[in-house]
Structure 1
Amino acid sequence: MRGLRLLSDHRPAAGERWIYSAGFNVGPALTDTGRIDVELADLARLSAAGARVALLSHQGSAKDGSAVHLDHVAGYLGGRLGRPVRYLPENATARARDWAAELHDGEIALFGNTRLHPGDEAADPGLARALAGLGDRVAVGGFSKAHRRHASNTGLLDHLPGYAADSLVAEARALDPWATGPGRGHAVAVLGGVKPEKTLIGLTGLTRTHRLVIPGGVVLNTLLAAAGHPVGRSELGSAPERCARAARAVLDRTGGEGIHLPRVLVVAGPDGVTRRIRVEDGVPDDCAVVDFVIEPWALDLVRGAERVLIAGTPGLYAQGNRHAAAAVLAARAGREATTLLLGGDTVAELPWTGPRSTGGGSALQYLVEGTCAVFEALKDNRRRGAGHHAH
């Protein structure tokens, strides 16, 4: 972590005003609290020293209306930390800044969901400036969002001295062996889910470093469409044109070598009933791909690989479409120590007790590029340190 200010190197003092940029991103059911739990030690240390902590986090997205208030997170945090954590539902208003100014020594308060602002994901500089008014220094945690250039993430670092939280550093360091491990002849990657980075970063990068990439989810649908196969109503994600260009470029570069394109798909019609079809027959207009059958030769490579990355569930696992995922996990039975799951949804859905990272896109970016957007922003923040002063 060269070039970063580390929170672990700073001795917090009573009265210091901190913004802690976390990446909790968990809904009211609190089905998987891993992204909260990794921040507990840092928060406890700041609070025990008497620092005043304004917590910021996101959940859901303003784009699709899935963002909700975070009072459920405040309650969970309070229970785990053994002290009250207030929930203050605003974050970029004058009232929110007044609330932050009134925090007592050692108090932690969780402010409103940053994703309730459309400007967060758009990296709106005005929103970043307003959020920076909640404190004098910013500790950046939430490795799962380390690849995001958002107002509440990298944007804060334009205004305040920034420190890498221990959780951020620990998760990146845990990935180092996977980034520097065996190369193309020994590694297999499974890509799934719906997020564009699985194609833009994962497919583009891992096809250069892994012997085999097994695409599923939106990655598979995009590749099938790019190869000229009808995909019916199959999900193509939130950036279909960008992903289509990337998929075509990968196919042009590789000729399809090192990419598993199945011969048999599992599709569902409007009534939800599933059936198997041959890829060459095309997905009917009223159907969508929900799973697929992995070819025996590909499973042999999964079974014998020195390392396997699973970044996203290959089928719609939570809806009961588990054929591809079950086949991969069965092929890695007894090889759990050299199999890594990436991403909060993947970790939550799949029955897995081996190595895992709550980062999905961030872990992919780190493995492919050796860095993430927030690390570069923290390095730049430190380089510009002479111009940063705590209020």
Structure 2
Amino acid sequence: MTAFKTLDDLTDLSGKRVLLRVDLNVPVKDGKVTDTTRIERVAPTILELAGKGARVILLAHFGRPKGEVVPSMSLEPIAGIVESVLDHRVHFAPDCIGGEASDAVGKMVDGDVLLLENTRFHPGEEKNDPTFVTALAQNGDIFVNDAFSAAHRAHASTEGLAHHMPAYAGRTMQAELVALEKGLGNPDRPVVAIVGGAKVSTKIDLLKNLVGKVDALVIGGGMANTFIAARGNDVGKSLCEHELAETAKQIEAEAAMAGCEIVLPSDAVVAREFKAGAESETVPVSAIPADAMMLDVGPMSVEAINAWISKADTLVWNGPLGAFEIEPFDAATVSAARHAAQRTREGLLVSVAGGGDTVSALNHAGVLDAFTYVSTAGGAFLEWMEGKPLPGVKVLMN
């Protein structure tokens, strides 16, 4: 996929003002950043541009201030964290447009990095307001988007700017798009998708898109219960959306027409209560006790899932197979994740995963770095899997 321009297409950057959209929406607890992954992901792009003599102006949002100035959502404290990750001085401007921004940009020298204040402090950001876009554009010569995680939003700093100046994908955006193309765009077959998580209702579009694109669809987590119940089984006290039985049947029918095999659990690990060390037992899905709930897929199911992973050339994964946060209900997710990681290490599998819980689950299994690509983009990754066009990506393709 080369339908978009990358940093490789940028020559002589000396003195050029580069407006670089990054994702600095990092988790903060008690005033401290608890995970710097997103900053680490954009560091190569920032340092490459600065190293080539560009004046790098970072645009980012933080939280949901809804167009108001909310001091607790200021990016100023984040500037210091970015500075320590980059090991490079990061200046800060208390606004992203207007006099304070242009003064700070005017003082920059080649190789400088400047972080502008939260773009969402202005209502024009989320409205993609042309006046606000123009005000942002006044501070730059080139636009680089390295925030795939915000690409599903048609905002001023993710989509609007690309209409005002030459637009390029940063290294993280580039890596993400290449990985996604390998995952579903033009994958090596057979392709297996694993979709887990709690509810079918949040992933109907995703499941409907996947059955037309993959050879096998493994359904786990709470959403498997809805499919198991729709097939006429009693799932006891398991999390289940009984009202979606017809939707589940329709997805199975669409899969059959498309030649996609639906892989549901044949056995289940059940317990009477959801807590660490709760007494659990393994039963066939046709024999879940009325007073118990399914909290993980059973060992026979894991064997079947791992057999599909062994057959696959490409694996796309979104959502855990069970309640992995609590032992022993992490067993299926850990086993499948480690098997996929091993196949990837051996060069036999392209494995692409994403979504918040998925990242945590792979981390828990100790294989986060062993997959071909793990996306830290939640909503954007999901919308891509649903087959929806992402405005922030589409505009780079023009």
Query: How is 1:292-331 mapped onto 2 (pairs within 5 angstroms)?
Result: 292-293=297-298, 295=301, 296-320=303-327, 321-331=329-339
Out of 253, 258, 261, the position equivalent to 1:258 is 261
- When normalised by structure 1's length, the TM-score is 0.72
Whether contact under 8 Å (1:310, 1:341) holds in the other structure is: yes
Matched position secondary structure for 1:297: helix
Partner residue of 1:336?
344
Q: For the structure 1 residues 235 and 340, does the alpha-carbon distance in structure 2 shift closer, same or farther, using more than 3 Å as the test? A: farther
Whether contact under 8 Å (1:27, 1:59) holds in the other structure is: no
- The Cα of 1:196 is off from its aligned counterpart by 9.4
Q: Which has the larger radius of gyration?
A: 2
- The Cα of 1:273 is off from its aligned counterpart by 8.3
Q: For the structure 1 residues 327 and 109, does the alpha-carbon distance in structure 2 shift closer, same or farther, using more than 3 Å as the test? A: same
| Structure 1 position 378 matched with structure 2 position 396 | yes
Out of 52, 55, 60, the position equivalent to 1:52 is 55
Kindly provide the CA deviation profile for residues 224-259 of structure 1, in whole angstroms up to 9, marking residues without a partner as x. Answer: 7877988979599xxxx9x99976652341369622
- When normalised by structure 2's length, the TM-score is 0.71
Kindly provide the CA deviation profile for residues 39-72 of structure 1, in whole angstroms up to 9, marking residues without a partner as x. Answer: 3233223323443322122455569x9x944445
Separation in structure 2 between the aligned mates of residue 162 and residue 266 of structure 1, nearest angstrom: 52
Separation in structure 2 between the aligned mates of residue 163 and residue 245 of structure 1, nearest angstrom: 44
- The Cα of 1:363 is off from its aligned counterpart by 5.1
Out of 326, 347, 350, the position equivalent to 2:359 is 347
How many residues are aligned here? 369
Kindly provide the CA deviation profile for residues 327-382 of structure 1, in whole angstroms up to 9, marking residues without a partner as x. Answer: 312443631332524226333534103122325555566677597543321233xx
Corresponding letter in the other structure for 2:26: V
Unpaired runs of 5+ residues, structure 2, are: none
Matched position secondary structure for 1:39: helix
Partner residue of 1:356?
373
Whether contact under 8 Å (2:93, 2:101) holds in the other structure is: no
- The Cα of 1:85 is off from its aligned counterpart by 0.8
Separation in structure 1 between the aligned mates of residue 73 and residue 240 of structure 2, nearest angstrom: 24
Separation in structure 2 between the aligned mates of residue 53 and residue 32 of structure 1, nearest angstrom: 23
Query: How is 1:140-289 mapped onto 2 (pairs within 5 angstroms)?
Result: 140-179=145-184, 180-183=186-189, 186-193=190-197, 199=203, 202-217=206-221, 220=224, 234=239, 249-254=250-255, 258-262=261-265, 264=268
Matched position secondary structure for 1:340: strand
- The farther-off stretch of 33-42 and 13-22 is 33-42
Corresponding letter in the other structure for 2:314: R
Separation in structure 2 between the aligned mates of residue 149 and residue 283 of structure 1, nearest angstrom: 48
Separation in structure 1 between the aligned mates of residue 169 and residue 116 of structure 2, nearest angstrom: 20
CA RMSD of aligned residues (A): 4.6
Whether contact under 8 Å (1:187, 1:308) holds in the other structure is: yes
Whether contact under 8 Å (1:332, 1:339) holds in the other structure is: no
Partner residue of 1:389?
none
